[in-house]
Amino acid sequence: MQRNAVARTFIAGHPLGAGERVGPDFFPELRAALAAMHAHGIAYVDLHKRENIIVGDDGRPYLVDFQICFDVTHPRVRWVPGTRWAFEQLCIGDVYHLGKHVAKSAPGEAVAPPPIPLWLRLHRVFAVPFRQMRRRLLVARGIRNGSGAAASEMFAEDAVRREQARAA
């Protein structure tokens, strides 16, 4: 058995739309799946993108895009001081982002999300302006187009947004 093996199964459905209304069990099931991941030492980390939440044709939630998950049990990191604290902060971020999706898609079910975690506030203060500056530089160099999108590739999230805009 390989530690990093991945098995994929096609799930018929669509990415969670902005403000999309879902069934009453959708977010409790997603919350339970996230809690199970956390209990196994995995922080999802990418829940801020609703495109990573699939609404299955069966009405159930599915998560995709696990490439930046954080595994606190991994032998290379579990011994590093502060790893458990970092994991807990990432889990708080997962819960925060889930709360935002619930508030937008199931207002009757909304529970006030926890306060914005410190690491997320710092990310917004430092990483966001850095990313914007980097994109402007890449546009000036002709590597990206004027919108900041890569001219040579299409990210899955961009493809989903374009398809949803075309369908609307």
Are residues 91 and 150 both part of a single domain? no
The count of domains in the chain is 2
Do residues 100 and 113 lie in contact, with contact meaning Cβ atoms separated by under 8 Å?
yes
Rg (CA), the chain: 18
120-136, pLDDT tens digit by residue? 888 888 888 888 888 88
**Residue 150: what pLDDT?**
54
Average pLDDT, the chain: 83
Are residues 54 and 35 both part of a single domain? yes
| Token couple for 130 | 């850095």
**Residue 28: what pLDDT?**
94
Residue 31 pLDDT class (50, 70, 90 cuts): very high
Residue 42 pLDDT class (50, 70, 90 cuts): very high
Are residues 15 and 72 both part of a single domain? yes
> Domain range for residue 150?
116-168
Residue 158 pLDDT class (50, 70, 90 cuts): low
Positive or negative torsion for Cα 88, 89, 94, 95: positive
Angle between helices 118-140 and 83-105 (to 10 degrees): 80
Are residues 39 and 92 both part of a single domain? yes
The alpha helices in the chain, defined as continuous H runs, are: 26-39, 83-105, 118-140, 156-167
Higher pLDDT, 165 or 22: 22
**Residue 87: what pLDDT?**
93
Are residues 45 and 60 both part of a single domain? yes
pLDDT exceeding 70 applies to what percent of the chain?
Answer: 82
CATH number, domain containing residue 57: 1.10.510.10
> Of 99, 115, 131, which marks where a domain is finished?
115
Are residues 36 and 111 both part of a single domain? yes
> Of 79, 94, 115, which marks where a domain is finished?
115
68-109, pLDDT tens digit by residue? 899 999 888 888 998 999 899 999 999 999 988 888 887 666
Ranking 38-52, 123-137, 150-164 by mean pLDDT, the lowest is: 150-164
Amino acid at 80: V
∠ CA 77-81-82, nearest 5°, is: 90
Are residues 130 and 58 both part of a single domain? no
**Residue 107: what pLDDT?**
66
Q: Is 19 left (phi over 0), alpha (psi -120 to 50) or beta?
A: left
Are residues 85 and 21 both part of a single domain? yes
| Bridge partners (DSSP) listed for residue 116 | none
